[in-house]
């Protein structure tokens, strides 16, 4: 559903939309209007069955990248909006960037970033509400950088008591980690349950090593 370009959407309105299972997108980078999406089939990544390929686990354990949290939001969303193989234009418009920057400023949008030699080489951002984390976009400029960021995100969610990782849609990339599609009603039930608590995104130390991150996930999955 298209949204009037002059209608003000505040961070509070955006959070209420997420709580109802909908999220905004734009047609192109220079499009000032937004439209709301409510997929019939929703992508989720179950935390208790999150799969880490053996080679990637080695990369995480070796701390190939310096992982930072909420360090440079503007650089992350800028990178997510860059052209990529199979995608010449972006839905991350200037208006989208302003809205999510506002969410970041009030503590409801977060980044997990991979740095190498002082250069941002991969990462992701998403929206936190209740015990849910809604992944928005990710990017990679070096092999495995976005995947390492995802593993660190999952460990952070597990440590903080989160119960729902929403990926919005399913991609081949996410399927390899165990992402699945569920119906709208099932998703809303899970989201409603997640809204009954408040996750602690800061529970895991920002300087947690790759070995510590993997251990957090392993302990959680063994106890589930």
Query: What is the domain partition of the chain in residue ranges?
Result: 39-88+108-223
Q: Tens digit of pLDDT for each residue in 41-90?
A: 999 999 999 999 999 999 999 999 999 999 999 999 999 988 765 555 56
Q: Are 15 and 108 in contact (CB under 8 A)?
A: yes
Q: Tens digit of pLDDT for each residue in 96-106?
A: 999 999 999 99
In order of 5, 82, 113, 182, 213, the CA distances from 104 in angstroms are 22, 20, 14, 28, 24
Q: Tens digit of pLDDT for each residue in 12-50?
A: 999 999 999 999 887 766 777 888 999 999 999 999 999
Select the CATH number that applies to the domain covering 39-88+108-223 from these four: 3.30.200.20, 3.40.630.70, 3.40.50.150, 3.40.50.720.
3.40.630.70
3-state secondary structure of 78: helix
- Dist. CA 72–CA 33, nearest whole Å: 26
Quote the pTM value: 0.93
């Amino acid at each position: 559903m298209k949204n009037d370009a002059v209608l003000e959407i505040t961070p509070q309105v955006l959070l209420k939309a997420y709580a109802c299972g909908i999220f905004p997108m734009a047609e192109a980078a220079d499009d000032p209007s937004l439209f709301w999406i409510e997929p019939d089939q929703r992508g989720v990544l179950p935390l208790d069955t999150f799969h880490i390929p053996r080679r990637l686990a080695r990369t995480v354990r070796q701390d190939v990248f310096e992982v930072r949290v909420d360090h440079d939001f503007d650089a992350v969303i800028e990178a997510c909006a860059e052209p990529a193989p199979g995608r010449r234009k972006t839905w991350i418009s200037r208006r989208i960037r302003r809205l999510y920057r506002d969410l970041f400023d009030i503590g409801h949008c977060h980044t997990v970033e991979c740095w190498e030699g002082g250069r941002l080489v991969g990462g992701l951002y998403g929206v936190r509400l209740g015990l849910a984390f809604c992944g928005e976009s990710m990017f990679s400029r070096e092999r495995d950088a976005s995947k390492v960021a995802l593993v660190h995100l999952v460990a952070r969610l597990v440590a903080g008591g989160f119960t729902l990782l929403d990926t919005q849609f399913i991609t081949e990339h996410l399927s390899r980690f165990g992402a699945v599609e569920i119906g709208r009603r099932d998703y809303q039930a899970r989201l409603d349950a997640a809204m009954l608590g408040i996750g602690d995104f800061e529970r895991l130390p920002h300087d947690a090593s790759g070995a510590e991150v993997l251990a957090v996930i392993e302990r959680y999955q063994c106890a589930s």
